[in-house]
């Protein structure tokens, strides 16, 4: 479907083919077995509800869209064989498996059914509908596994295609997505829930890096544990809202989005660390992170505005170094570089702007290494012009880095003196005594 980004050695190609074939031999029967069992269990119940908006009855039925609907089966298999290494095959297969397992658990725990009565169809579409009806009963609705797998497969190919073939791929994926409605296979609420599941699978097994949960170690930091509990409670509240309102309002399932976002943040504070945000050193975050964690970021932006809207966006500390909050797009015009200490906010792009990110979790003290890396980054980019050192509010993480830079550059004798200089500029600084010690150690 397009040019491969790299050529694959013959030996590696053989390993890819073998690995893909083995995964497919497992995934295909696993898919039909678990999907069929979930359907069968739902069919035994007499009270399987339906979640549909009244206006869905106006969605047209287009028999021909069964063709793009069915095409995902071919792409499901083909995508396993279009990889550069066996490890790439394994990552894609684990994404498939994650979507399948989570969806089936949802189908069993909260079965739903479609209420559409499709008209009679003939020809090729009629044959395809008949085959589909042999195993796909009107259950297994939300989250739409079809949409979850579409998100995973779309992402797999969009990174491998260029130019016109990539545009064609996007259009075809839109057709596949719409086909779940125009073939009357799913209701509207199944689509966003399926998208969340697909994005979660992408987030759990990201490309070119380890899973954000790979190095999970339960934290011993008491403050981090408290914050993890707070976010876990928030996630539970949103989940309960979704479940309690399930039978009366289909849109209530959208509360699963903030629930999932807060659950991921809770995992980060519990021990996974800033890797949950999947932010690179240039400030770029993964597609999955941007969408999955958007509700949390929305809350973080509101919090930033609440605490800083009466303050200057940044203050000049000296020698072209500024300390401030996470910047808005218009605020970037004054700077040549940004040293960003947040994990939660993606970089904002501007022409010629250099962005250095050292991701760290909000409200937790920085490590000595992070403080030192931040100070060194400030010194490295300062020759380019004005540099903004920022975190969410500019009160803690970035303040610690700027204080370290002041000490290292000879502008202050120690962390306490550097902090007083910053406060004298009218910028609040909220640093603990242990952070002062970390700053002084990083400045050596």
Query: Catalytic residue positions?
Result: 391
Are 216 and 276 spatial neighbours (Cβ–Cβ below 8 Å)?
no
Query: How many whole angstroms separate alpha carbon 196 and alpha carbon 148?
Result: 7
Task: Kindly list the distances between the CA atom of residue 2 and the CA atoms of 26, 75, 104, 235, 256, in Å, as whole numbers in the listed order.
Answer: 28, 14, 34, 42, 37
Token look-up 């994005």 returns 199
């Amino acid at each position: 479907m397009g040019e491969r980004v790299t050529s694959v050695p013959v030996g590696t190609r053989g390993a890819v083919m073998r690995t893909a074939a083995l995964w497919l031999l497992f995934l295909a029967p696993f898919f039909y077995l678990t999907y069929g069992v979930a359907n069968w269990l739902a069919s035994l119940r007499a009270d399987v509800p339906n979640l549909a908006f009244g206006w869905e009855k106006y969605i047209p039925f287009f028999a021909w869209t069964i063709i793009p609907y069915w095409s995902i089966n071919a792409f499901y298999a083909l995508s396993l064989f279009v990889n550069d290494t066996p490890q790439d095959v394994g990552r894609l297969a684990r994404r498939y498996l994650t979507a399948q397992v989570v969806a089936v658990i949802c189908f069993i725990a909260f079965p739903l059914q479609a209420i559409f009565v499709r008209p009679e169809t003939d020809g090729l579409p009629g044959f395809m509908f008949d085959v589909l009806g042999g195993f796909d009963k009107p259950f297994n609705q939300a989250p739409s596994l079809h949409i979850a797998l579409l998100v995973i497969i779309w992402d797999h190919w969009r990174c491998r295609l260029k130019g016109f073939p990539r545009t064609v791929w996007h259009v075809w994926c839109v057709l596949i997505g719409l086909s779940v409605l125009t073939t009357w296979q799913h209701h509207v609420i199944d689509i966003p829930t399926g998208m969340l599941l697909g994005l979660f699978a992408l987030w759990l097994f990201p490309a070119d890096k380890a899973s954000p949960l790979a190095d999970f170690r339960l934290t011993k930091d008491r403050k981090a544990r408290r914050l993890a509990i707070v976010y876990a409670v928030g996630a539970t509240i949103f989940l309960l809202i979704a479940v309690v309102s399930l039978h009366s309002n289909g849109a209530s399932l959208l509360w699963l989005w903030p629930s999932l976002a807060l659950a991921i943040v809770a995992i980060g504070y519990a021990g996974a660390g800033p890797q949950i945000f999947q932010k690179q050193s240039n400030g770029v975050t993964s597609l999955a992170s941007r969408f999955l964690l958007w509700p949390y970021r929305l809350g973080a932006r509101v919090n930033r505005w609440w605490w800083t809207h009466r303050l200057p966006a940044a203050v000049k500390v000296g020698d072209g170094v500024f300390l401030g909050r996470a910047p808005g797009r218009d605020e970037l015009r004054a700077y040549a570089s940004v040293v960003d200490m947040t994990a939660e906010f993606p970089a904002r792009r501007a022409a010629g702007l250099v962005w250095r990110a050292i991701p760290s979790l909000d409200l937790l003290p920085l490590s000595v290494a992070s403080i030192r890396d931040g100070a060194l980054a400030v010194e490295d980019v300062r020759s380019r012009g004005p540099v903004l050192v920022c975190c969410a509010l500019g009160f803690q993480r970035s303040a610690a880095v700027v204080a370290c830079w002041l000490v290292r550059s000879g502008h202050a004798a120690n962390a306490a003196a550097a902090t007083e200089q910053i406060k004298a500029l009218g910028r609040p600084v909220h640093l603990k005594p242990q952070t002062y010690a970390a700053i002084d150690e990083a400045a050596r």
